Amino acid sequence: MKFIVSSSSLLKQLTSISGVLNTSSNLPILSYFLFDVNDKKLTVSGSDLESTMITSIDLDKADDDLKVCVPAKLLLDMLKTFADQPLTFTIDAKTFGIEIGSDNGKYKLAGINGDEFPRLPELESSSKLKIESGTLFNAINKSVFATGNDELRPVMSGVYFGLEKDGITFVATDAHKLVKYHRSDCKSSKSANFIMPKKPLNLLKSLLVSLNTTVNIEYNETNASFVFEQYTLVSRLIDGKYPNYEAVIPKENPNEMMIARDTFLNSVRRVSIFSNKTTHQVRLTIKGSELLVSAEDLDFSNEASERLGCQYKGDDMTIGFNSRFLIEMLNNIESDEVRLELSAPNRAGILSPSEKEDNETITMLVMPVMLSQ
């Protein structure tokens, strides 16, 4: 069996799905791509058992249909060295040996029977939903950073999708920070929810960043698939009940500060360099129209402080936060000004953009840290 494909087209498509591969797996087949040639179309799959990514390429020439598993790293390393040129793949249907012919040479690799590759789960009793790629990218980008890594609480290692008739809510939390992102322009015909793991979401994010298309989402109780352009991603969902995130968001926040996002972000970045390397604590002292950002590391006699102008209404307050969480959140807000709502030094602060985008509501919650006296 023989087919011809452009080296640069093949490299681009393989690279786009290669992030799903699990190089440390005990199953050797997971370090292979599945090549499925059918009706002059090459469909390539990669999997780590939890998630499968699929892409397709139209072929100039293919003389038969065949499935074969190709060693992923070997093929990618080889393709990276070629200038764009046609490559001829010749596959022995009995031994699954692969010979690749280029302008200047021939290369042989050992393939595996394609039937040994993990089968794609079928989504039975599924529901469907359509969403614009830019909307889904923003939702993932503004939430996935807040997911946790605690193996004892797997539900927190993913993003919660809450589908309702009045919009879709995306929530991520690691118990120290929480992001709630709501879109009122995306609606579901019925109420449902599921938890997507962070790895496939990051893979999705990398593909969606430059696309302007519609994503078809299909889901049931165990799996979800995302289909757009020449890509398909199928992922096993995280099983479990998501925490009641609404219960931890303070409803009464009488103290409100407005400040330029870039000014605040850069100040926290600089001052946090002098903070304790274990707690990363920065102290915010707000009085009138002045914010004092300070940090210290008593072990090394390091300290720093900066005074910034702000708009503030409420009681004078001093509160401590983990600077890394503040920086992550400020990096994921796009408005020129941000609003920080506070109720008490031992209650969570709520960070949000000062200007509300159409159809978009974003709430970021950060837990305080106990101030060292």
Tens of pLDDT, residue by residue over 264-318, are 999 999 999 999 999 999 999 999 899 999 999 988 899 999 999 999 999 999 9
22 vs 148, residue with greater confidence? 148
Predicted pLDDT at 195:
97
Asked if pLDDT for residue 83 goes beyond 70, the answer is: yes
What band does 370 get if pLDDT is binned at 50, 70 and 90? confident
Question: Highest-confidence range of 1-5, 59-63, 176-180, 188-192, by mean pLDDT?
Answer: 176-180
Q: What value does the mean pLDDT take over residues 121-141?
A: 92
Cβ pair 225, 141 in contact under 8 A: no
DSSP 332: T
Where does the chain have alpha helices with state H? 7-17, 72-79, 133-141, 198-208, 261-272, 323-331
Distance CA 225, CA 220 (A): 9
Asked if pLDDT for residue 65 goes beyond 90, the answer is: no
Q: Classify burial at 142, counting beta carbons within 10 Å of its beta carbon; exposed 0-12, middle 13-18, buried 19 or more.
A: buried
Asked if pLDDT for residue 372 goes beyond 70, the answer is: no
Predicted pLDDT at 61:
83
Long-range contacts of the stretch 135-140 (C-beta < 8 A, 24+):
135/183, 135/185, 135/186, 136/204, 136/208, 136/215, 136/226, 137/205, 137/208, 137/209, 138/181, 138/360, 139/168, 139/170, 139/181, 139/183, 140/170, 140/201, 140/202, 140/204, 140/205, 140/208
Asked if pLDDT for residue 3 goes beyond 90, the answer is: yes
What band does 229 get if pLDDT is binned at 50, 70 and 90? very high
Q: State which amino acid sits at residue 59.
A: L
Asked if pLDDT for residue 34 goes beyond 90, the answer is: yes
What band does 11 get if pLDDT is binned at 50, 70 and 90? very high
Predicted pLDDT at 358:
82
Predicted pLDDT at 373:
54
> Mean pLDDT score of the chain, rounded to an integer?
93
Predicted pLDDT at 299:
85
Asked if pLDDT for residue 251 goes beyond 80, the answer is: yes
Distance CA 239, CA 73 (A): 32
Sorted by where each starts, the structural domains of the chain and their CATH numbers stand as: 2-116 (3.10.150.10), 127-246 (3.10.150.10), 250-369 (3.10.150.10)
Tens of pLDDT, residue by residue over 92-110, are 999 999 999 998 899 999 9
What band does 322 get if pLDDT is binned at 50, 70 and 90? very high
What band does 225 get if pLDDT is binned at 50, 70 and 90? very high
Question: Highest-confidence range of 20-29, 256-265, 353-362, by mean pLDDT?
Answer: 256-265
Predicted pLDDT at 205:
95
Sheet with 106-110, side-by-side order of all strands = 61-62, 2-6, 86-91, 97-101, 106-110
